[in-house]
Structure formats: structure tokens, C-alpha cells
Structure 1
Amino acid sequence: MRDVSYDPNSKSAYECFNCGTIVRAESNPGTCDNCGSAMRNRLIPLE
């Protein structure tokens, strides 16, 4: 069950795995501008 509604046309929050920087973007930015680590969509839970 998801408690957050997903709208593919809206900007999502992406968080850096390493430094925690949060960026709002329409698609995954790939790497963090601050440290170069991978980014994750905050709406998708980590397992």
C-alpha cells in the first residue's frame, strides 16, 4: 500500500545516497551535483 500518490507528470524529489542532497526534477538526475554519487527517487521505498 502506498501513502503517496504518484503523478508521472509532476516533479519528484531525488535524494543523494551519499550526502543527502535533495533535488526536485522531472526525471532522475543520475548523479549528485555536490558529490557525484547516485541519486534515488524518494517516492520509491528502499528494501
Structure 2
Amino acid sequence: MKDVQLDPGEESTYECFDCGTVVIALAPEACPNCGADMRNRRTPIE
């Protein structure tokens, strides 16, 4: 797997841990639907 170079000024796809909402944004603080934490989908979960 390649390391992904993340650019903090570039929008990425984020997914909510709780409800699964997907948004494209710079870095959302919380899910716009339920307020839960979001994860960057380009960063693998281990």
C-alpha cells in the first residue's frame, strides 16, 4: 500500500463513524446529520 500525501488545503471525502454520511470537505468537525466523529476515507483504519 502506498502512503497518501495529504494536503490540508485540499478537500477530501469524509465518512461518519455512526450513521455513514459521506461529505466532501476540508476537515469537518463533526457529522452534519448526527454530530458524531468523521474519518477521512483516504486514511486506512487498522
TM-score interval w.r.t. the shorter chain?
Answer: 0.7 to 0.9
CA RMSD of aligned residues (A): 1.8
Following superposition, the deviation at residue 35 of structure 1 comes to 0.6
Aligned length: 45
Structure 1: 5+ residue stretches without partners: none
Residues 1-47 of structure 1 deviation map (CA, whole Å, 9 limit, x = unaligned) = 228x5451431000000011011112x21210101100000000001
Cα distance between partner residues in 2 of 1:30 and 1:7:
17
Give runs of ≥4 in structure 1 deviating > 2 Å: none
Structure 2: 5+ residue stretches without partners: none
Identity of aligned residues (%): 51
Cα distance between partner residues in 2 of 1:13 and 1:2:
18
The residue correspondences of 1:1-47 to structure 2 (distance < 5 A) are 1-2=1-2, 6=5, 8=7, 9-26=9-26, 28-47=27-46
